[in-house]
Amino acid sequence: MTDQTRPSAARRLIDLCIEYNFIVIFLVVVIIATLLSPNFLTSGNISNLFQQAAVTGVVAVGMTFVILTGNIDLSVGSVCALCGMVVAVLLVGGWPIWAAILATIAIGAACGAVMGAITALAQVPSFIVTLAGLVSFRGVTYLLTDGVPVSGLPASFAAISATQIPLFPGFSLSSMAVIFLLLCVLAGGLLRLTVVGETIYATGGNPEAARLSGLSTRAVLILVFAMSGVMSALAGILLTSRLRIGQPTAAQGLELDAIAAVVLGGTSLFGGRGGILGTFFAVMLLQVLRNIFNLLGLGSFYQMTVTGLIIVAAILLNRFIDLRRGRG
């Protein structure tokens, strides 16, 4: 490449801003929030931001895997509620905390794997399969206790989400926020540094080419849905620990927040493009928006309107990026 054809520094900067638009949008919103409220950048508020984002963030990590394959999981909110109730019922029934958690995670994985198997083996669109899961798992959640919340959980179980972990002098994060961050690092490493991650991207980018190359695309679909189930189960455990009660009505609409975060973070609904980094910043962006509206004393209607507009803008921007790359 000659000096005449090599992109200028300004051009490269613009390309980077377009490529990582989710980070740019996040930084802009943070700057605006800082100007609007002097309480925004306090250590207490930042810690609260991460804690509030943890449940949605954990579910969104699992959703990222599913959407990268060109599928979708509408059942995550119901699986989260179901697993939150299961762990509460087991603990009240006298199970050790570690055993109740492991059993709950296994149930979440099984829920996801079943939907993945139906999608992959019966070739039923994941939208239909997981929509049925959304209704069915929520129904099972109510059946567990006839819709009655479960209380009397051990105090040590609440410590799973409430424990403060110091990171810097004068700044700490709750354990559930640290779990969210660790999951982001592990999931990002899995996608970018392992054969499993490469297979997931290949399956989402071109399923037929991946199959002809000898990749087991059906096994990949079952795997990503099982991972989504595991993440939903973890989110349910964290939510129940934080609420200190098993609530059958919990996590309603969580699937919409998770999908919005993944799409806002640049993961294509058609699969094959995106990642955990974008999902993380998008989850935090949505939480910053909620936080700043609360600090300003504005109602949820403003929050929904502005959030919806930002999501639409992000989708249009990502579509523009696809067209520039010749994927349109």
pLDDT at 177: 95
Lowest average pLDDT, out of 175-184, 234-243, 297-306, goes to 297-306
Tokens at 167, concatenated: 């990171």
- Which residues, in sequence order, are CB contacts of 88 under 8 Å at separation 6+? 150, 153, 240, 245, 246
> Mean pLDDT throughout 288-307?
79
pLDDT tens per residue, range 64-86:
999 999 999 999 999 999 999 99
- Among 8-12, 194-198, 216-220, 272-276, the minimum mean pLDDT is found in 8-12
In this prediction, residue 324 carries a pLDDT of: 67
From the list 80, 81, 100, the residue with the least C-alpha distance to 89 is 100
Dig out the tokens for 166 from the structure: 């110091």
d(CA 7, CA 122): 48
The alpha carbon of 113 is separated from its chain's Cα centroid by a whole number of angstroms, namely 18
The pLDDT tens digits of the residues spanning 165-191 come to: 998 888 899 999 999 999 999 999 999
Q: Is 54 or 312 the better-scoring residue by pLDDT? A: 54
CA 244 to each of CA 28, 87, 148, 158, 195: distance values in angstroms, whole numbers, following the listed order: 36, 11, 14, 6, 39
Residue holding tokens 């939208």? 127
Q: How far apart are CA 20 and CA 69, in angstroms?
A: 21
Q: Residue 294: its pLDDT value, please?
A: 81
- Nearest alpha-carbon partner for 107 in 156, 144, 146: 144
Average pLDDT over residues 188-211: 91
Q: What is the mean pLDDT of residues 286-310?
A: 80
Q: What is residue 327's predicted lDDT score, i.e. its pLDDT?
A: 54
Q: For 115-120, what is the mean pLDDT?
A: 96
Domain definitions of the chain by residue range: 54-285
Residues whose CB falls within 8 Å of the CB of residue 191, separated by 6 or more in sequence, listed in order: 65, 68, 197, 200, 201, 275, 276
How many Å apart are CA 214 and CA 211, to the nearest integer?
A: 5
pLDDT, mean of residues 219-239: 97
Do residues 52 and 290 lie in contact, with contact meaning Cβ atoms separated by under 8 Å?
yes
Say whether pTM exceeds 0.85.
yes
pLDDT band for position 296 (cuts 50, 70, 90): confident
pLDDT, position 13: 78
